Amino acid sequence: MSRIIRVGGAQLGALNLADTRDVAVERMIALLEQAAAEGCNLVVFPELALTTFFPRWNLETPEEVDRYFETDMPSPETQPLFDRAKELGIAFYLGYAEREIEGGQEHRFNTSVLVNGDGNIVGKYRKVHLPGHAEFDPKRAFQHLEKKYFEPGNLGFPVWKTMGGLFGMCICNDRRWPETYRVMGLQGVEMVLLGFNTPATNSQRPEEADDLRGFHHDLSVQAGAYQNGTWVVAVAKAGVEDGHKLLGGSTIVSPAGQIVAKSQTLDDELIVADCDLDECTFYKETVFDFARHRRIEHYGLITQQTGVVRPDAAE
Amino acid sequence: MSRIIRVGGAQLGALNLADTRDVAVERMIALLEQAAAEGCNLVVFPELALTTFFPRWNLETPEEVDRYFETDMPSPETQPLFDRAKELGIAFYLGYAEREIEGGQEHRFNTSVLVNGDGNIVGKYRKVHLPGHAEFDPKRAFQHLEKKYFEPGNLGFPVWKTMGGLFGMCICNDRRWPETYRVMGLQGVEMVLLGFNTPATNSQRPEEADDLRGFHHDLSVQAGAYQNGTWVVAVAKAGVEDGHKLLGGSTIVSPAGQIVAKSQTLDDELIVADCDLDECTFYKETVFDFARHRRIEHYGLITQQTGVVRPDAAE
């Protein structure tokens, strides 16, 4: 049986502070319909796809923060997206800011869901690697306050068996961390879905060459794909949001680590590729046959210590 | 104080079965002298630099195998290399096949040493990730019997404080495994030295496009460098050994993951770069500040299980 998934990477252009959920959902539905016309089975939307990338702003009051978060998914505003996808029989990945009240405690996560072609949420992921900082930083060219607005994800990196394959999710900065892909690789993942919002400028090094940001994005995604023999679909929110430029470069990467589709704009844009999950097999059974080649007895530091401990030995 | 190391990557062309150690050592000394003339402080030689890449041959008798192994380092044949490097005040990395008799037991490793500018061995590394297979495989276009000739390294991935910085070593296939760099990164490594012998053809997929081997090499090394904010110096034995072509592509990669020097031939060739160890700092203190960003509570599988365990949950 063929295991080819026709994937659409549904890049979104800018969403400004003034844009409501309705604007975002309307644009996502348009991309979804384009994907349907092109025969896609699965569409990947960006991280925090419903609003502007608000962690660049230092929001002061709970009310200011709350307006960017969803307490239900689907919500009234996103229900039309769920409905249309179900009608079209298209599965999708959607990133959003999640507010959860559990046992009287409020929790906030940077979250994504995987919705199957029947409209059911089959998986939820909460971003583990939050970049940036927790308090206003006057030294930065602009803020990146993800550690203020979100808790680190508490669901790990699950892999779901669905659509005839093994699917994982991660979000934005997770893609720079080889641990992200490896934990999913150890569960046999065949396709990793990820949305991102990446400022086009390094807030701590504004003089950095323009192309370095895109290079680091590609490098991380391509290495993660190759080193685990998996497809990776990485989809941006791109463009200039209220004067702040986000990187584009949405990309679909094969288990060989090669880019098979890439966005050409910073606007709403659909990239499409036929992704044969069976292409993973060669890598998983040869150079990255983990069972034969990994040596966990030498990996201890990876899970024993969080930060750097330098060797004491002097010359 | 400046922490710029002028590194020479001393790629070697082919060594055939008929070539003795003397041939290899003479060519290495020539590269060492060229490196001295160019002001290098440190020279990196390839993996198994003293002989042909013998794991491509299915050697039958202990005598056939033994001839490729060193029981002492320096050995009589390599002493001139150690002497000349000491005279020139150049540190070096050297890969060789190591035979050790310990408690009456014989052990064989794919080994490298780091020798400082005073001629002292300051570090030893034994290859952890042995590629290939342990028994003759009639299905392969040629053999890759590293698992027959070597035990996996038993020294882990140490990092040494020397030459004003933090240095690590790995060998060939180790470079494809993000665990390699991460274990050293967690010790603050600033420069990873690695030699390799990589067949230009994939023995299990001879029809693979030519450029894919070099791409996978670059991708792995560049990602390892960037994701740990470290220099990586990767040096090939290259060229056609008794009809078997080895990949070249010796490369020096910056902590930004960018290639700053690359070999242009498959022959003896020196590549040189000024590597400022302080360039690591920006990455180690921002995007890859492990202490702030890593989440080891979600990495457990990496050290708990060697091979893949697929999720049971069905759709």
pLDDT value for B102 = 87
From chain A residues 125-164, the ones with a CB under 8 A of any chain B CB are 128-131, 152-153, 156-163
- 3-state SS string for B240-254: EECCEEECCCCEEEC
pLDDT value for A1 = 73
pLDDT value for B1 = 73
- Which residues contact residue A103 at a Cβ distance below 8 angstroms, ignoring those fewer than 6 apart? none
Mutate to test the interface with A, among B145, B301, B304, B309 (most CBs of A within 10 A): B301
CA–CA dist B17, B166 (Å, integer): 36
Closest to B115 (Cα-Cα) out of B142, B84, B156: B84
Give exposure, B173-197, as e/b (b: 16+ Cβ within 10 Å): bbbbbbbbbbbbbbbbbbbbbbbbb
CA–CA dist A119, A89 (Å, integer): 8
From chain B residues 99-128, the ones with a CB under 8 A of any chain A CB are 116, 122, 128
The stretch B267-287 carries a mean pLDDT of 98
Distances (CA, A) of B167 to B1, B215, B241: 18, 25, 31
Closest to A179 (Cα-Cα) out of B182, B185, B140, B206: B182
Residue B229 backbone zone (phi > 0: left; psi -120 to 50: alpha; other: beta): left
**Could you give all domains of chain B from N- to C-terminal order, each with its CATH number?**
4-304 (3.60.110.10)
Q: Please list every residue in chain A whose beta carbon sits closer than 8 Å to the beta carbon of residue B298.
A: 128, 153, 156-157, 179, 183
pLDDT in tens, B207-221: 998 899 999 999 999
The stretch B66-84 carries a mean pLDDT of 97
- Flag whether pLDDT at A56 surpasses 90: yes
- Which structure tokens are listed for A290? 């983990």
pLDDT in tens, A170-213: 999 999 999 999 999 999 999 999 999 999 999 899 999 889 99
Q: Please list every residue in chain B whose beta carbon sits closer than 8 Å to the beta carbon of residue A288.
A: 176
ipTM above 0.90, yes or no: yes
- Which structure tokens are listed for A293? 């080649």
CA–CA dist A197, A10 (Å, integer): 13
Give the number of residues written for chain B.
Answer: 315
> Is B208 noted as a catalytic residue in this protein?
no
CA B155, chain centre distance (Å): 15
Counting DSSP H helices and E strands in chain A, the numbers are 9, 14
Query: What would the DSSP string read from start to end of A204-246?
Result: T-TTS-HHHHHHHHHHHHHHHHHHHT-EEEEEEB-EEETTEEE
Q: Does A4 touch chain B (CB under 8 A)?
A: no
Closest to B111 (Cα-Cα) out of B46, B167, B176, B59: B46
Q: Which of A307-311, B101-105, B145-149 has the lowest mean pLDDT?
A: B101-105
pLDDT in tens, A39-48: 999 999 999 9
pLDDT in tens, B244-256: 999 999 999 999 9
Confidence of residue B315 (pLDDT cuts 50, 70, 90): very low
Residue reference for tokens 């990793």? A192
Nearest to B291 among A204, A215, A308 (CB): A308
pLDDT in tens, B137-159: 999 989 999 999 999 999 999 99
Percent of chain A at pLDDT above 90?
A: 95
Chain A: residue nearest B203 by CA? A286
Q: Please list every residue in chain B whose beta carbon sits closer than 8 Å to the beta carbon of residue A153.
A: 295, 298
From chain B residues 200-259, the ones with a CB under 8 A of any chain A CB are 204-205, 212, 215-216, 219-220, 222-223, 226-227, 256-258
Q: Does B178 touch chain A (CB under 8 A)?
A: yes
Confidence of residue B53 (pLDDT cuts 50, 70, 90): very high
Confidence of residue A315 (pLDDT cuts 50, 70, 90): very low
CA–CA dist A195, A189 (Å, integer): 17
Which of A127, A148, A237, A284 is catalytic? The answer is A127
pLDDT in tens, A220-240: 999 999 999 999 999 999 999
B176 to A227: CB separation less than 8 angstroms, yes or no: yes
B295 to A131: CB separation less than 8 angstroms, yes or no: no
B187 to A310: CB separation less than 8 angstroms, yes or no: yes
Closest to A78 (Cα-Cα) out of A13, A28, A17, A12: A28
Chain A: residue nearest B313 by CA? A161
Confidence of residue B181 (pLDDT cuts 50, 70, 90): very high
pLDDT in tens, A114-129: 999 999 999 999 999 9
- Flag whether pLDDT at B179 surpasses 90: yes
pLDDT in tens, B1-48: 789 999 999 999 999 999 999 999 999 999 999 999 999 999 999 999
pLDDT in tens, A247-301: 999 999 999 999 999 999 999 999 999 999 999 999 999 999 999 999 999 999 9
pLDDT value for A210 = 82
Average per-residue pLDDT for chain B: 96
- Flag whether pLDDT at A314 surpasses 50: no
> Is A87 noted as a catalytic residue in this protein?
no
